[in-house]
């Protein structure tokens, strides 16, 4: 476990790698059906990417949106759908802000594709048609 130690001694150089490793660990837990165990590393990864994104948005916002999306999926898988929905919205908002800053059609397309994937994943977690409808209304509602 050298990475946590390195991340403490030189965060700028090593924290992104720790965060990505934690994110990957969370994904592996999810794929193994160990949903509850996926939450802690996925949450920690999102927290690290938030910190990194504040310090250097250009370098870390893409990973922040990915980690928020992953955390949203984890929360949905354990039945915490309202929290999952809030994080999915935050992920989309972060992607929109990033896309707007870069004025890139590719970024906007990636944002839309990720939003669709998030909604599909969340919808699979809860087969209730009313829940799916509420999610889409919230996600595609008017921009403020």
pLDDT tens-digit profile of 43-76?
999 999 999 988 888 888 889 999 999 999 999 9
How high is the pLDDT of residue 2?
44
Nearest to 72 by CA among 63, 60, 85, 61: 85
Q: Which residue has the higher pLDDT, 125 or 94?
A: 94
The pair of three-digit structure tokens given for residue 131, joined into one six-digit string: 């829940």
CA–CA distance from 76 to each of 17, 25, 43, 89, 124 (Å)?
A: 26, 17, 13, 13, 9
Read off the pLDDT of each residue in 34-50 and give the average, rounded to a whole number.
95
Does pTM top 0.85 for this prediction?
no
* Closest to 102 in 3D by CA, of 54, 61, 142, 140: 61
In this prediction, residue 24 has a pLDDT band, given cuts at 50, 70 and 90, of: very high
Regarding predicted confidence, which is higher, 69 or 95?
69
How far is the C-alpha of 128 from the C-alpha of 86, rounded, in Å?
Answer: 18
Indicate if the pLDDT at residue 18 is higher than 90. Answer: yes
Q: What is the pLDDT of residue 1?
A: 45
Whether residue 143 is predicted with pLDDT greater than 60 in this model: the reply is: no
pLDDT of residue 82: 93
CA 55 to chain centre: 18
């Amino acid at each position: 476990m050298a990475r946590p130690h390195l991340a403490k001694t030189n965060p700028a150089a090593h924290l992104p790698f720790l965060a990505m490793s934690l994110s990957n660990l969370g994904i592996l837990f999810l794929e193994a059906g160990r949903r509850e165990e996926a939450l802690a590393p996925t949450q920690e990864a999102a927290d690290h990417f938030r910190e990194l994104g504040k310090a250097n948005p250009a370098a870390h916002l893409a990973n922040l949106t990915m980690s928020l999306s992953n955390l949203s999926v984890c929360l949905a898988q354990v039945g915490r759908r309202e929290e999952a929905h809030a994080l999915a919205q935050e992920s989309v908002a972060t992607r929109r802000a990033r896309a707007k800053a870069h004025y890139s059609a590719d970024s906007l397309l990636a944002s839309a594709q990720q939003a669709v994937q998030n909604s599909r994943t969340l919808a699979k977690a809860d087969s209730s048609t009313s829940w799916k409808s509420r999610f889409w209304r919230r996600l595609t509602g008017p921009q403020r």
